[in-house]
Amino acid sequence: MNRNSSTYGHKCSAMGYLLCTLLWALCLTGCRQGDAKADSAEALCEEAASCKALFQEGRNLQHNKQYTEAIALFNNCANYSSGKQEVCQQLQPIVVDALLQLVNSYQSLGKPNDCVDHLMGIVNNPTPLLRNYGMRDLYSLTGYALSRTEAMGEAEEYIAKALSLPLYRPTHERLFRDYAYAAAINFSNPKQQEQVIQWCLMAISENKLCAHSPGVQWVTSMLGTIYKRTGRFNEAIDLFTESIQEAQSQHDLLGEINVCNSMSDLFIYWGLPQSADNYANRALYLITKSHNTNPMIQSATYLLKGQTMEALGKPDSALTYWQKAEEICQQLPYNSGQADIDYYLGRLLIEKHDTDTTPTNDGNFARGMERLQQASLQATPTIRAKAFFGLAKGYLAVKKKHRGESMLDSMYRQLHLAPRPIYIDQANSFALEHFIEERNLPQIVRYAQELINERKQRDELETSRKLAETIIQYQVERKEQELQLARAQLDNNRLYLLLAIIFLLVLFGLVLIGYRFHRMRHKLMEQQVNGLINNLNDARLRNQEIKKQLTDLLTDINNRSQLEAAAPQLLHEKGEVRFRQRFEQFYPTFLPTLRNRIPSITRSEELLCMLLALGQDTYQIEQLLGIAHRSVIMARHRLYKKVSATSEQSLETFAQEILVSCKQPEDGTDN
Q: Summarize pLDDT for 208-218 with one digit per residue, the tens.
A: 888 766 667 77
Examine the pLDDT at 58 and tell me if it is beyond 70.
Answer: yes
- Fill in the DSSP letter of residue 575: -
Query: Among 288, 332, 285, 324, which Cα is nearest to 306's?
Result: 324
Q: What is the distance between the alpha carbons of residues 402 and 66, in angstroms, rounded to a whole number?
A: 55
CA 116 to chain centroid: 22
Q: Is residue 255 part of a domain?
A: no
The confidence score (pLDDT) of residue 160 equals 94
Share of the chain above pLDDT 90, in %: 19
Q: What is the distance between the alpha carbons of residues 591 and 513, in angstroms, rounded to a whole number?
A: 76
Q: What is the distance between the alpha carbons of residues 131 and 118, in angstroms, rounded to a whole number?
A: 17
Residue 434's φ and ψ, nearest 5 degrees, are -65, -45
Q: Across residues 642-653, what is the average pLDDT? A: 83
Q: Kindly indicate the confidence band of residue 13, based on its pLDDT and cuts at 50, 70 and 90.
A: very low
Query: Of 4-8, 35-39, 133-137, 231-235, where does the model show the most confidence?
Result: 133-137
Which of 582-586, 641-645, 655-659 is predicted with the least confidence, judged by mean pLDDT?
641-645
Examine the pLDDT at 478 and tell me if it is beyond 70.
Answer: no
Output the pTM of the full model.
Answer: 0.49
Examine the pLDDT at 574 and tell me if it is beyond 90.
Answer: no
Contacts of 285 (CB under 8 A, 6+ apart): none
Tell me the residue type at 415.
L
Most distant pair of Cα atoms in the chain: their distance:
156
Query: Among 333, 378, 335, 339, which Cα is nearest to 114's?
Result: 333
Residue 171's φ and ψ, nearest 5 degrees, are -125, 160
Alpha helix locations (H) across 110-134?
112-124, 128-133
- Is the model more confident about 527 or about 154? 154
Range of the domain at 592: 559-661
The model's pLDDT over 504-515, given as tens digits with 9 standing for 90+, comes to: 787 877 777 777
Other residues' Cβ atoms within 10 Å of the Cβ of residue 160:
14
Q: Across residues 380-399, what is the average pLDDT? A: 88
Q: Kindly indicate the confidence band of residue 110, based on its pLDDT and cuts at 50, 70 and 90.
A: confident
Examine the pLDDT at 30 and tell me if it is beyond 50.
Answer: no
Query: Of 408-412, 464-468, 523-527, where does the model show the most confidence?
Result: 408-412
Q: Across residues 389-400, what is the average pLDDT? A: 89
Examine the pLDDT at 474 and tell me if it is beyond 60.
Answer: no
Q: Is residue 629 part of a domain?
A: yes
The model's pLDDT over 227-247, given as tens digits with 9 standing for 90+, comes to: 877 777 778 888 888 888 878
Q: Is residue 637 part of a domain?
A: yes
Q: Is residue 585 part of a domain?
A: yes
Q: What is the distance between the alpha carbons of residues 159 and 181, in angstroms, rounded to a whole number?
A: 8
Q: Kindly indicate the confidence band of residue 60, based on its pLDDT and cuts at 50, 70 and 90.
A: very high
Q: Across residues 628-632, what is the average pLDDT? A: 91
* DSSP secondary structure, 320-356, as one string: HHHHHHHHHHTTS-GGGTHHHHHHHHHHHHHHHHHH-
The confidence score (pLDDT) of residue 57 equals 92
Examine the pLDDT at 667 and tell me if it is beyond 60.
Answer: no
Going 124 to 126 to 131 to 137, the CA torsion angle's sign is: negative
Q: Is residue 82 part of a domain?
A: no
Examine the pLDDT at 42 and tell me if it is beyond 60.
Answer: no
- 54-74 as b/e: b if 16+ CB within 10 A: bbebbbebbeeeebeebbebb
Q: Is residue 614 part of a domain?
A: yes
Q: Across residues 65-75, what is the average pLDDT? A: 91
Q: Is residue 248 part of a domain?
A: no
- Give the angle 158-163-169 at the CA atoms, nearest 5°: 120
The confidence score (pLDDT) of residue 419 equals 58
The confidence score (pLDDT) of residue 213 equals 60
Count of CA atoms in the C-beta half-sphere (13 A) of 641: 8
Ramachandran region, residue 226 (left: φ > 0; alpha: ψ -120 to 50; beta: rest): alpha
The confidence score (pLDDT) of residue 589 equals 92
Rounded to the nearest integer, the mean pLDDT of the chain is 78
Q: What is the distance between the alpha carbons of residues 451 and 430, in angstroms, rounded to a whole number?
A: 10
Contacts of 376 (CB under 8 A, 6+ apart): 384, 387, 388, 391, 410
Share of the chain above pLDDT 70, in %: 77
Q: Is 435 helix (H, G, I), strand (E, B) or coil?
A: helix
Q: Is residue 612 part of a domain?
A: yes
Q: How far is CA 378 from CA 295, 338, 389, 403, 437, in A?
A: 20, 10, 15, 19, 32
Q: What is the distance between the alpha carbons of residues 469 and 477, in angstroms, rounded to a whole number?
A: 12
Number of domains observed in the structure of the chain:
1
Alpha helix locations (H) across 64-170?
67-78, 85-109, 112-124, 128-133, 135-147, 152-164
Examine the pLDDT at 21 and tell me if it is beyond 50.
Answer: no
Query: Of 32-36, 100-104, 550-554, where does the model show the most confidence?
Result: 100-104
The confidence score (pLDDT) of residue 86 equals 80
